Chain A
């Protein structure tokens, strides 16, 4: 299985881009400012990214969708990856959950701090150039503090610019490989990594459906035209993953929607689709209507907020043994409820490889339109958090490491964690304590100043 581990490639050399402190000290993070973009990687030559890690400590939950990762391969004009960072790493609805899968891993950190280790192991080859940027789009009043950001990007560079094991007996392909190599390109059968984020904030129930937001059996869907679309790609390639997030606003079992995957044909023209499924839980390998979260190498229902299916759920599927291959086009779609009878919030990331050029991505919505649905009370509490955080950041700058910083942290931190756990009352109590500590400090400083 791991035969390539024993194969030594004399033309490959490993390297890393990371946020290490170039001064040799321990400030091993970037300080990201709202409204700015940073370059995480900018590499000339041929190579492949093999692993991407990042973390933050007690940042706002919203950063998972405020931060956008964009990646360009070989000088292309539009990025092949354009996804909010959390969603890309299988964080659903800005709520990190443990994930132990082959391609994405979410590990815990300090048990009393909101910090998670986010890992992606999908290979990302390039033949001339790779560029990865992170944009921090502010969310006024909710999340606009500077954020410390730790990351590693592990990659290998290929001096020969040919993936040697691609040269096989197959004469036609070997010729193509040689032709590509002569042009200085990575062989054509090495696709480029792509990831695309989509959201339909309220899926629209199919016209004429009377059975809205209930489990339905009688509607007839014989074309897939009203389905939620997670990916529309053109070219030659294969899809390797899907991260799907549903906020079930209607309540009840929303998962009767079948997946319908149209390969080299379009809904309205191709019927039946090349892959027609039997329900949402089937896609993610579960038994009927999972009520408890699970996660494994290929499949996960990694978030199930309520056992009655209300609220937020999320699932992933890595198509590693069974990539969805296409030669001209791919449309990955799913019914939102049987015959599209649920009006819910659907968000997804599709992961695929293809020969460039890729089709145009839908425009990424502005930060405010990317945020998960939160109750008014939760949003108000998040505003409180943002205010306390602003006070804390200033205090930290003025009193770096002082006792007062620790005292305020001892409330700001558990308050932030309580928010993620949905305990608004406890969060507000902590924020009030943090404010009181800050008010004492401000009064004392003011007096001392006099």
Chain B
């Protein structure tokens, strides 16, 4: 990934970038994404490699991190090698950004008065003949029209010489089981000790891949509906064999926190180069948690296939909302991906009031944009005050304070009504 030896200078390699810069030389350095729209972020001839991707938004939809879906095709393949909601791909759990300072994904803060985070991915993505990346902004039925400004950089290099023949392609796959189905007869939603799992057949599956390659990362999100410590589930990774055929798996773990390098039952967040429990909503484990693991020193290598699974609670005794992104490299072709669910199937579990408040945000933003296109536009002070109020409302919305958020969005509409 990063240089083994940064002092080596390689001839025949040129750096370049695709970004949302304003090609008129002005400062509208963003795309405007419209719901329902698909935009091409990159369409490039090879050989080359993507080395870094960055994006940000300001005060966008509460659901944006799952409404935006990124797909990447290498070398003209017919099905994408990357298909995941954009936020999840960049380690944003449950459509709720949290800081992450890791080697492969970095989430940095922005202006504390608005909702804006810097999202970075540093995993290399080589391609021999072409690379194509598309971003789709899916509409949530019943929600107001909600265009969103989107800033991005994709940093790349182009090679004079062809890729080495054993260069694998980057893949990322999103999966969700909502809720997981408890094994028949278990003691439901409580830390279990006595159930016997000697096959792994009921585990949550984060990845099934076929071919030759190596898994390099996992971003796992759990919405713990049952409450209590859900993390007794062991990881069971079947390499070149399948659950039901291979036992024990080549790789059998001892609990969820172990996968992510933590001590027993982490009840506050941490994040570092290889591992993170970057979201822990409640110290009693209820609600939303998220973790990541980069297998960079210890890639999970497979010759024919891999099935990465984890118990949802010991012996699969928890009925919870599990979501994951698996990151791996493999020689093409890849096995078919499961269908990416439609937008309702992707959205995190939020109370109904969140959707109402997010609709109010979209209406307030639309009102602000309308007022800006009037001649003359409202005084700058009005714009600034409404912008900061929008930021405050969005921050309240992301913090789950829907009443405060609604009050802020209502204030904007009233302000711009009286401002006419």
Report which A residues bind B (CB closer than 8 A). 1-4, 48, 100, 102, 122-125, 163, 166, 170, 188-193, 216-222, 236-238, 240, 256, 258, 261, 263-264, 272, 274-279, 281-282, 284-292, 294, 296-299, 301, 307, 320-327, 338-339, 353-355
Contact = CB atoms under 8 A, between A and B. Distances in A.
Given A122-B6, A123-B6, A287 B117 contact: yes
Contacts of A354: 9
Contacts of A221: 25
Which 5 A-B residue pairs are closest in the complex by CB-CB distance? A287-B110, A322-B51, A278-B29, A296-B101, A287-B116
B24 A320 contact: no
A282 B1 contact: no
B120 interface: yes
Interface stretch (B15-23, B78-86, B277-285, B342-350): B15-23
Interface string B101-136: 111001011111110111010101000000000000
A240 B30 CA distance: 26
9 contacts: A170-B161, A258-B21, A263-B14, A263-B16, A278-B29, A278-B153, A298-B122, A325-B15, A339-B25
Interface in B145-167: 151-153, 155, 157, 161
Contacts of B5: 4, 123, 163
B7 A287 contact: no
Interface stretch (B52-60, B69-77, B189-197, B313-321): B52-60
A113 B269 CA distance: 31
B4 interface: yes
B108 A294 contact: yes
Given A102-B2, A287-B108, A320-B2, A297 B273 contact: yes
Contacts of A220: 24-26
Nearest to B24: A220
A299 B28 CA distance: 24
Given A275-B15, A354-B9, A355-B9, 8 more contacts: A3-B4, A190-B8, A274-B17, A291-B111, A323-B3, A325-B14, A326-B14, A338-B27
B10 interface: yes
A3 B114 CA distance: 43
Nearest to A240: B6
Nearest to B28: A217
User: Which of A190, A292, A321 counts the most chain B CB atoms within 10 A?
Assistant: A321
Nearest to B6: A240
A287 B15 contact: no
B164 to A, nearest CB: 9
A264 B54 contact: no
Contact of B111 (A190, A284, A289): A289
B370 to A, nearest CB: 18
B9 A238 contact: yes
B118 to A, nearest CB: 4
Interface in B296-324: 296-297
A332 B151 CA distance: 21
A191 B20 CA distance: 33
A240 B102 CA distance: 19
A85 to B, nearest CB: 21
Contacts of A279: 29, 151
User: Which of B12, B27, B117, B155 counts the most chain A CB atoms within 10 A?
Assistant: B27
Contacts of A276: 17, 19, 21
B7 A125 contact: yes
User: Which of B1, B28, B108, B153 counts the most chain A CB atoms within 10 A?
Assistant: B108
A326 B16 CA distance: 10
B11 interface: yes
B118 A191 contact: no
A290 B108 contact: yes
B27 A288 contact: no
Contacts of A219: 25-27
User: Which of B2, B23, B30, B116 counts the most chain A CB atoms within 10 A?
Assistant: B2
A102 B122 CA distance: 14
Contacts of A189: 8-11
Given A193-B7, A220-B25, A297-B101, A285 B106 contact: yes
